[in-house]
Amino acid sequence: MNRRKPAPGSGRPGLAALLLAIGVLLLPGLAHAQPAGGTARPRIGLVTSLSGQSAYIGTDIRDGFLMALSIAGKAHGREIAEVLVRDDAIVPEKGLAQARDLLRNEGVRLFTGVVSTNIAVLVVPELLQAGALFVSPNAAPKDLSGRTCHPRYFVTSYHNDSMPEIAAKFAAGRGFRRAYLISASFQAGLDAVESFRQHFGGQIVGESIAHFGQVDFSQDLQKIREARPDVILQFLPGSIGVAFLRGFHEARLSEQIAVVLPSSALDHRMLAVAGSSAAGLFVTAHWNRDFGNPANRRFVQEWQSRYNRVPTLYAMQGFDAGQALAAAILRAGGQTDDPEIIARHLGEVEIASPRGMFRFGRNRHPVQDWWLLSVKRDPQGQYQLVTDRRIAEGHADSFAGDCPAP
C-alpha cells in the first residue's frame, strides 16, 4: 500500500490541532450533554447544501439518505429515526451555525450530510469534540483520515485523494508520461492535483487553477497547447467543468490530448449539459448507474420511481450513509442515539451497496472497487456514462494504514 506523507511545510492542521483550536468555542459541558430522559427514537441532523453552487448534490444526498431510512423503516414496520434537515448553502460559517444549533438546541448527536470539504474541516472536528458521531456521504479530507482518524467519524463516499490517485495510476498505466493539471480553487480541488502528482510518476508540464463562475478558459487552453501534454487531469465540478470541456473541444485539443477525470467532475447531470464535448474522456468511478448487481438495480429503480430523475453518485453515497446508520441503529436496539454505541455497531454493519464491494476500512473509510467509465451515445442520441472495466479491486485509501488501531 502506498502511504502518502504530508508535504513538508504544508501548514495544514491535523485533527488534534483543529480540535484544540475550536475547543474554546464549545459551550461548557457540551461534550457530555445527553438528551433529557433518553430518546425513544434517534434523531439525525442532516446538514447539507440545498442552495447555491452545490444544491443538486446536497439534494441528491438528502433524498438518497431519506430513501434508505424509508426502505429500512418499511422492512421493520417502524420509523428508524427522525431526520432534521438544514441547508448550509455551501457557506462554511452557515454550516457550522446549523450544526451547532442542532447540537446545542435540539440535542442531536448523530450527524451526516456535508458536501464540501471546506465545511467538513470546520464542522466535523467540533461535532466530534462535543461527543457526536458523523457519517460523511461526500467530503473526506486527509485531516480526518490517517493518524488523526476518529472512532466516531465514518465515510460512505471515498477519500478525497482516492479518485485522483486512481486517475493517476490509470493514466500512468496507459503509458501517458506528460500531464497537465487543472482544478478548481477549493480545498478538494487542491487535494486532487496534489494526489495526482504524488501517484502519477511522470512529468507534470503545467497547472491551472480555475475560479468558480469562470467561463473563459482561452488562456488556460493556450497554456495547455504550449505545454504539449499527452494527458490532462481535469477536476472542475459543475458549470466550470462543462465550460472547460466545451472550450477544450472547440479548440480541437481533444483530438490531440487525452483527458482523465473523476466522476465527481463529470456526473450524469454534468454530462447531460456537456454533451458531445465529453466524448472520448476517461472517467474513473466507484459507482455507475449501469452496474448490474441486484442492489444497484433495486436502488436505481426505487430512486427513479420516487424522484423521477436519474441518480448521481451523490444519491448513491447518501443512500449508503442512510443504509449504514439505519443498520447500526437497529443493531443497537432501535431506541438509542448514543454516539459511542452507534459507532461500535457502524463498524460491524454489512450493507448491500449499489456500488457492489463495500466495507469500512481501518480508518472507517470505504474499501471498494474502482472502475473506468467512457462516454457513449445511446440509441436515442443521448450521451451516457458507460462502465468499461474494473481498474482497482478492494482499494483502501493511502492514509488507512496510519490510523491507530480501533
Sorted by where each begins, the domain ranges of the chain are 41-158+292-368, 162-285
Lowest mean pLDDT among 11-15, 74-78, 252-256, 383-387: 11-15
CA distance between the termini of the chain: 19
- Please, which pLDDT band fits residue 339 given cuts at 50, 70 and 90? very high
At 405 the pLDDT is 67
> CATH for 41-158+292-368, among 3.40.50.2300, 2.60.120.620, 3.40.50.450, 3.30.460.80?
3.40.50.2300
What is the C-alpha to C-alpha distance for residues 45 and 86, in angstroms, rounded to an integer? Answer: 8
Question: What's the CATH number for 162-285?
Answer: 3.40.50.2300
Say if residue 126's pLDDT is above 50: yes
DSSP state of 381: S
User: Residue 361: its pLDDT value, please?
Assistant: 95
Tens of pLDDT, residues 165-198 = 999 999 999 999 999 999 988 878 888 888 899 9
Output the pLDDT for position 54: 80
**Span 25-38, average pLDDT:** 37
pLDDT of residue 6: 38
Q: Of the spans 4-18, 19-33, 303-317, which averages the highest pLDDT?
A: 303-317
Domains 41-158+292-368 and 162-285 share a fold: yes
Q: Which of 13-27, 138-152, 265-279, 318-332 has the lowest mean pLDDT?
A: 13-27
Does residue 278 have a pLDDT over 50?
yes
What are the grid coordinates assigned to 117, written together? 470539504
Q: What is the mean pLDDT of residues 207-211?
A: 93
CB 296 within 8 A of CB 303: no
Distance separating alpha carbons of residues 386 and 375, to the nearest angstrom? 6
For the stretch 64-112, pLDDT in tens is: 999 999 999 999 999 999 999 999 999 999 999 999 999 999 999 999 9
Q: What is the pLDDT of residue 80?
A: 97
28 pLDDT more than 80: no
Q: Which pLDDT score is estimated for 288?
A: 98
Q: What mean pLDDT comes out for the span 229-242? A: 92
How far lies 189's CA from each of 109, 137, 192, 389, in Å? 30, 18, 5, 26
* The model's pTM: 0.88
